[in-house]
Structure 1
């Protein structure tokens, strides 16, 4: 692919609109006026940065990185995949972070007041760096669904939040993965604010029996695709997505 290839323009219909009335809090959070593009300065472009020394040996293992008295409760799973650019090439040395609710659907957060109990052996956070093939993996428990105050009986599907960093903390993308076959996905106002069903499918981790550990853990594959070199210009820089 020649280096002077044209940039692929951002598809504004691919991402959900800021205002999605069925997702009630978007009404108050969506902007009322057009967004303003502000040129970034040296402080945003050059740092702060993260280093490989920031990653601990158990950071990717949510079954062990918080446990003190035993294993977490819940269905043990592996979530794995690759970080790729838009041409399908691997993106190595990329920091991937995850956070999630426990098997009962409750986050370890003081503002989470759901009735499900806190698991004393589960923190719900992990991080890792992709290898030379852009690959990553986490061990964890499958998160539970939980109710949220959108309408009288709305429930969030089981999901894991995923953050991908570039070379600096300002180069950050955040998404969330769902699980194949979850009947709550088509009922979720947040997921259904995405108009294209193909886009929702790309947010759904697929069962991968080939990566499962017999008598131990099921596995789900979730590839993360970035725009890479053919990125849309973003705030006067090439790194935007």
Structure 2
């Protein structure tokens, strides 16, 4: 017999769907109470995300289209863990980010910063048996947005995690330590718990830094429980 998962969302940990300081949530937030749909056998068992969907080099964002991306090379690594500290193996981890100048390779991103022809800004990897992942990329730049006067987003990397099936997806963001823009960011500030906000800030790791090549930043992702990583628009699984 297959036992279908059901997890309760911790109160006060994740950002509310309507956060007044984060302007676009006023347009996206639902006006009525959500109706949570249970996951039945179809949602839990398929479609599956196998290892054949990840190719060698998919976790290296610094080499693309016959050249090397511009910017400060970094390694981002960590573990995906359950609430009791157990590693989560074979989870598909995807990232997307702006380039070193703070611009996304996206049709609607047209602010005055250069595009990098050798940087797509996307990568993917599967966690190993210990729940470990690693990416090689460049440190993204800050960029302006129109949320309020003189608004700038701090440097960040978006993370998407898939579980056993396509419907089990979680999304979050990783920030960098000592970024002066963090106190002014209404996206990060929409998380009610200050300790939870700190869990979205990566940790610099001199031990994992590659000499003469790349700095390293550690970012563990805890899926649920009181020490969970804050997630964007989470819901019961």
TM-score (norm 1): 0.88
Cα contact 2:8–2:236 (8 A) shared by 1: no
Cα contact 2:72–2:138 (8 A) shared by 1: yes
The match for 2:58 is 59
The match for 2:130 is 133
The match for 2:17 is 18
The match for 1:3 is none
Uncovered stretches (5+) of structure 2, i.e. residues with no partner = 1-5, 229-234
The match for 1:88 is 85
Q: Per-residue deviation at 1:45?
A: 2.5
Q: Per-residue deviation at 1:9?
A: 4.6
- C-alpha separation in 1, matches of 2:162 and 2:218: 20
Match runs of 1:194-213 below 5 Å:
194-213=191-210
* Alignment pair present for 1:43 and 2:55: no
Secondary structure of 1:162's counterpart equals: strand
* Alignment pair present for 1:122 and 2:99: no
Q: Per-residue deviation at 1:48?
A: 1.6
- C-alpha separation in 1, matches of 2:149 and 2:76: 32
Secondary structure of 1:211's counterpart equals: coil
Uncovered stretches (5+) of structure 1, i.e. residues with no partner = 1-6, 232-238
The match for 1:190 is 187
Secondary structure of 1:209's counterpart equals: coil
Q: Per-residue deviation at 1:53?
A: 1.1
Secondary structure of 1:175's counterpart equals: strand
Q: Please give the root-mean-square deviation of Cα atoms over the aligned residues, in Å.
A: 1.8
Q: Per-residue deviation at 1:42?
A: 4.1
Q: Per-residue deviation at 1:122?
A: 0.4
- C-alpha separation in 2, matches of 1:90 and 1:82: 7
Residue in structure 2 matching 1:145, options 125, 142, 145: 142
Q: Per-residue deviation at 1:8?
A: 7.7
Q: Per-residue deviation at 1:46?
A: 2.3
TM-score (norm 2): 0.90
Aligned pairs, number: 224
* Alignment pair present for 1:221 and 2:218: yes
Q: Per-residue deviation at 1:67?
A: 3.6
CA deviations over 1:202-229 (Å, ceiling 9, x no partner): 001111110000111000000011138x
- C-alpha separation in 2, matches of 1:37 and 1:195: 23
The match for 1:234 is none
